Structures are given as structure tokens and as C-alpha cells.
């Protein structure tokens, strides 16, 4: 899908207080950024921000960082946050954004600095030669393992069953523990409890597409994310 460039995006993001600049300088210092010791959760490929802003509203005792590669997409998340704060008349201090490539997460977060990672409807990169670019590939799982704390997990949702099968296989091959699996999340009462939907999730589920979800942790990490 061709992304529409928004000329004003870079300027607005560079001036916005919730968008982190020079993010590598914050490595190991995210508690100072948020000015508290609350756990940090990261969504990689956050899109327009519905999922993350909803979590930030629901859980003031947790910190959230949204990562998006494209400035024109991240702009929409920033605009959503601004609209929420204006409507409520209060600032959400537990959310920040970064415009960066997901491959660089070990350069931005210290070992065991992240409590959980969300991957929602990631690009499937359908061509076999691009498999390493998939956010649930072995290469990316190894990156996540470096930054997750001892109880940290990855939660992954998709409507793409081929990508889901690939993700399950990659997790097993990398020695990760598959904590929970559903091939039809919205009909799984246990796993769907407390589920927060993304924009894509609403769209695809309304079309009758089953939503797949897995919760996985490196072999020494054994607890799930509590939303």
C-alpha cells in the first residue's frame, strides 16, 4: 500500500512534546522520561494509535511507548492523542511516541527495561525473501528478548493466518514459550477478556475475518501482559 506523504508531519512531530527525539539517548533512562518507576510497554507498528491511547487511558499506572516508522502515520496517532486530551481537558502523561525503525529497539531500550511488547496487524511481508523483515521473525524475537524484563512477553494479533502460522513456528524455533494461542480470538472467551481492538481489528472482524492471537515469552520469561 502506497503511503500518502503529509508535508507538515515532520514539522509537527519535531515540535510535539510527546514525540521523543534522539531516542537512543533515552536508553536505560525511560523512568526519567516518564518521571516515575511504572512499567514500560511498547507497541511496535502502532499505526493511528487507537490501541495504545486506549491502554494509556485505562491504565494510568503503566507507561506506553508507540513506535511507528512512517511520520505521516505517526502524525495521525499524535492528532488522536491531542483530540483526546482536548476533549478530556487533561494530559495523558503515560504515553510517548517514537518515529523509528523497529530493528533498532535494542539501541533505544536497555536490557530488561520493557515489561511487554505489542505487535498488532504487522506487515506480513508475503515474499519469502522478505521473511526476516516480519516483526515475529527469529531475528526480531532475539531483539525483543534483549529488552524484555524477566516477566516480559510479546502479544501478537493478526488476521493473516499464514503469518500467524509462521510466527508460531518462529517462536518455537527460537526457544520461546507459547503462553496462549487462539485462531479465533473474538470467539475465545478466555483470551478475549479485556481485549482492546485496533482500527484494523475492527475492520477485519466486521468483515467476518477471524483474528489470531498469541502470547509468547522467552523460555525464562513466564508471565503475560495484564491490560
Write out pLDDT tens, residues 94-117.
999 999 999 999 999 999 999 999
Residue 149 marked as a ligand binder: no
Cα dist. 50→133, 166, 190, 199, 200 in Å?
A: 24, 26, 23, 7, 10
Residue 7: what pLDDT?
Answer: 77
Residue 10 marked as a ligand binder: no
Residue 113 marked as a ligand binder: no
**Among 108, 102, 113, which Cα is nearest to 25's?**
108
Rounded to whole angstroms, the Cα distance separating 36 from 159 reads 36
Q: Is 123 a catalytic residue?
A: yes
182-194 mean pLDDT: 95
Residue 43 marked as a ligand binder: yes
Rounded to whole angstroms, the Cα distance separating 28 from 33 reads 10
Residue 1: what pLDDT?
Answer: 43
Question: Where are any strands of DSSP class E within the chain?
Answer: 40-44, 63-68, 95-99, 114-120, 148-158, 176-182, 212-218
41-50 mean pLDDT: 95
Write out pLDDT tens, residues 127-136.
999 999 999 9
Backbone phi and psi for residue 65, each to the nearest 5 degrees, phi listed first: -125, 125
Please list, in sequence order, all residues whose beta carbon lies within 8 angstroms of the beta carbon of residue 195, skipping any fewer than 6 positions away.
Answer: 185, 186, 227
Write out pLDDT tens, residues 61-97.
999 999 999 999 999 999 999 999 999 898 999 999 9
Rounded to whole angstroms, the Cα distance separating 225 from 91 reads 25
Q: In which band, very low, low, confident or very high, does the pLDDT at 4 lie, cut at 50, 70 and 90?
A: low
**Among 22, 34, 86, 28, which Cα is nearest to 59's?**
34
Q: What is the DSSP string of 177-201?
A: EEEEEESSGGG-HHHHTT----HHH
Residue 201 marked as a ligand binder: yes
Task: Give the DSSP H or E segment for 143.
Answer: helix 138-147
HSE at residue 185, side-chain half, CA atoms within 13 A, is: 27
**Whether residue 175 has pLDDT greater than 90:** yes
Look at the domain 9-218 and name its fold: Rossmann fold (3.40.50)
Backbone phi and psi for residue 57, each to the nearest 5 degrees, phi listed first: -70, -40
Residue recorded with cell 477485519: 204
Residue recorded with cell 527495561: 113
Q: Which grid cell sits at 2?
A: 502506497
Please list, in sequence order, all residues whose beta carbon lies within 8 angstroms of the beta carbon of residue 208, skipping any fewer than 6 positions away.
Answer: none
Looking at 123, 149, 151, 188, which residue is catalytic? 123
Amino acid at each position: 500500500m502506497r503511503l500518502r506523504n503529509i508535508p507538515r508531519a515532520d514539522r509537527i512531530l519535531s515540535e510535539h512534546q510527546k514525540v521523543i527525539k534522539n531516542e537512543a539517548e533515552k536508553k536505560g533512562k525511560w523512568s526519567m522520561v516518564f518521571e516515575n518507576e511504572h512499567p514500560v510497554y511498547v507497541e511496535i507498528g502502532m499505526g493511528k494509535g487507537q490501541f495504545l491511547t486506549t491502554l494509556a487511558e485505562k491504565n494510568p499506572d503503566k507507561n506506553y511507548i508507540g513506535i511507528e516508522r512512517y511520520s505521516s502515520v505517526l502524525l495521525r496517532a499524535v492528532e488522536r492523542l491531542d483530540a483526546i486530551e482536548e476533549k478530556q481537558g487533561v494530559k495523558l502523561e503515560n504515553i510517548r511516541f517514537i518515529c523509528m525503525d523497529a530493528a533498532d529497539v535494542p539501541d533505544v531500550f536497555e536490557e530488561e527495561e520493557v515489561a511487554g511488547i505489542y505487535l498488532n496487524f504487522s506487515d506480513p511481508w508475503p515474499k519469502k525473501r522478505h521473511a526476516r523483515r516480519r516483526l515475529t521473525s527469529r531475528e526480531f524475537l532475539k531483539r525483543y528478548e534483549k529488552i524484555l524484563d524477566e516477566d516480559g512477553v510479546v502479544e501478537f494479533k493478526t488476521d493473516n493466518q499464514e503469518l500467524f502460522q509462521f510466527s508460531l513456528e518462529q517462536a518455537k524455533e527460537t526457544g520461546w514459550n507459547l503462553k496462549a494461542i487462539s485462531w479465533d480470538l473474538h470467539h475465545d472467551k478466555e483470551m478475549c477478556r479485556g481485549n482492546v481492538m485496533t482500527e484494523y481489528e475492527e475492520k477485519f472482524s466486521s468483515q467476518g475475518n477471524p483474528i489470531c492471537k498469541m502470547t509468547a515469552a522467552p523460555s525464562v520469561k513466564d508471565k503475560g501482559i495484564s491490560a
